[in-house]
């Protein structure tokens, strides 16, 4: 398994919640690792501690205790220049153009791989990549929400970070913009950039992520790393056939020639057969088709179903 690119150890943040100095623990002795070159989903309900943790990584707020390690050493200001961040909401200056935003970003970060004379060429390449070159002179305040999201992506990746934090990157995108964002994230994965993906979208997790962390009330309550396995090791497979086939399914399940399903559920119009191994699911698919059953669906299930997520998430904090 890869080594930890970023590691959080015993991180804690407490706020005064009101004038009476009553305490609210937002991040509570948090421990988690983000592996080198992998994409890790960071999930949790509103108030779970995700945003506070991100702010502590960037030094926007200081932890009350604990530490953040970058490749095994305490995170420094120089390390933070190697990290990119795409926030959930577009917070770019509305009176600057797309070009001006990116030029200012390069002047602040001064990436080692670029000389100042190459800034304009790098900006042109990045704006073409996100399909905003024709809008380069447009002020941020005049951009659509989807265009603003793409510009935020450009700013987060222009200095070629080694690690990038993406906070709900798909938010506000139309189908074409969504597909472009997926392709851009996959390009980072191919380049072995370490990615922390904050999202609630199960599809994004299934398609893009190698690992999953779930926070609840400031603590890590679920991690594929803690289980010592990859995310895909927890995937199961669903075979759905017509409900008129219920008797045949029961006969197949009671026999000895087929692997035993993890679960069989009968609904109004369908029978759902769940199997943990893909090879077992294929045997069931072949048996059902041989019996002439109407197969309605055959797909991989996320290891984090909606019901399971609710179990890990718990209730949102209202304070």
Residues of the chain with CATH 3.40.50.300: 1-82+162-229+303-319
Query: Kind and range of the H or E element at 50?
Result: helix 50-57
Nearest to 80 by CA among 70, 95, 65: 70
Rg, C-alpha atoms of the chain = 23
Nearest to 40 by CA among 5, 81, 12, 86: 5
Backbone CA torsion sign across 240, 243, 244, 246: positive
Cβ atoms of residues 231 and 212 within 8 Å: yes
Q: Each residue's pLDDT tens digit in the chain (319 positions)?
A: 579 999 999 999 998 877 777 888 999 999 999 999 999 999 988 888 999 999 999 888 999 999 999 999 999 999 999 999 999 888 899 999 999 999 999 999 899 899 999 999 999 999 999 999 999 999 999 999 999 999 999 999 999 999 999 999 998 888 888 889 999 999 999 999 999 999 888 778 878 888 889 999 899 988 887 644 555 556 688 899 987 767 888 888 888 789 999 888 888 778 889 998 889 999 999 999 988 888 988 887 766 556 566 667 665 554 3
Cβ atoms of residues 160 and 105 within 8 Å: no
Give the list of residues 6+ apart from residue 304 with CB closer than 8 angstroms, or none.
43, 202, 205, 212, 214, 222, 312
Query: Kind and range of the H or E element at 44?
Result: none
Question: How confident is the model at residue 175, as a pLDDT?
Answer: 86
Cα 199 to Cα 181: distance, rounded to the nearest angstrom: 13
Instruction: Collapse the DSSP code of 43 into the 3-class scheme (helix H, G, I; strand E, B; otherwise coil) and give the result.
Output: strand
Question: How confident is the model at residue 231, as a pLDDT?
Answer: 53
Per DSSP, helices labelled H in 143-208 are 145-157, 175-190, 202-208
Cα 257 to Cα 236: distance, rounded to the nearest angstrom: 20
CATH value of 236-301 in 3.40.30, 3.30.70, 1.10.150, 2.30.29: 3.30.70
Residues of the chain with CATH 3.30.70: 236-301
CATH superfamily entry for domain 1-82+162-229+303-319? P-loop containing nucleotide triphosphate hydrolases (3.40.50.300)
Tokens of 118: 């190459």
| Strand boundaries in 71-123, DSSP class E | 73-74, 83-86
Cα 259 to Cα 273: distance, rounded to the nearest angstrom: 11
């Amino acid at each position: 398994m890869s080594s930890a690119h970023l590691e959080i150890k015993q991180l804690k943040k407490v706020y005064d919640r009101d004038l009476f100095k009553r305490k609210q623990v937002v991040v509570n002795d948090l421990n988690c690792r983000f592996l080198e070159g992998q994409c890790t989903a960071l999930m949790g309900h509103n108030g779970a501690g995700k945003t506070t943790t991100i702010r502590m990584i960037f030094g926007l707020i200081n932890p009350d205790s604990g530490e953040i390690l970058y490749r095994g050493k305490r995170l420094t200001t120089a390390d933070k220049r190697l990290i990119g961040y795409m926030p959930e909401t577009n917070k770019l200056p509305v009176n600057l153009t797309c070009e001006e935003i990116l030029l200012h970003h390069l002047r602040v970060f001064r990436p080692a791989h670029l000389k100042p004379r190459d800034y304009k060429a790098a900006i042109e390449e990045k704006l073409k990549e996100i399909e905003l070159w024709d809008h380069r002179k447009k002020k941020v305040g005049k951009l659509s929400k989807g265009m603003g999201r793409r510009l935020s992506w450009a700013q987060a990746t222009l200095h070629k970070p080694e690690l990038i934090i993406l906070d709900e990157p798909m938010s506000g995108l139309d189908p074409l913009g969504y597909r472009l964002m997926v392709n851009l994230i996959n390009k980072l994965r191919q380049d072995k950039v370490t990615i922390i993906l904050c999202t609630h979208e199960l599809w994004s997790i299934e398609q893009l992520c190698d690992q999953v962390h779930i926070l609840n009330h400031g603590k890590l309550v679920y991690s594929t790393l803690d289980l010592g396995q990859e995310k895909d090791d927890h995937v199961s497979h669903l075979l759905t056939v017509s409900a008129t086939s219920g008797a045949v399914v029961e006969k197949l399940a009671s026999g000895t020639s087929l692997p035993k399903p993890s679960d069989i559920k009968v609904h109004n119009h369908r029978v759902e057969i769940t199997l943990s191994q893909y090879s077992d699911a294929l045997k069931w698919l072949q048996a059902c088709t041989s019996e002439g059953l109407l197969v309605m669906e055959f797909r991989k299930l996320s290891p984090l179903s909606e019901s399971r997520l609710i179990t890990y998430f718990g209730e949102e904090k209202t304070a």
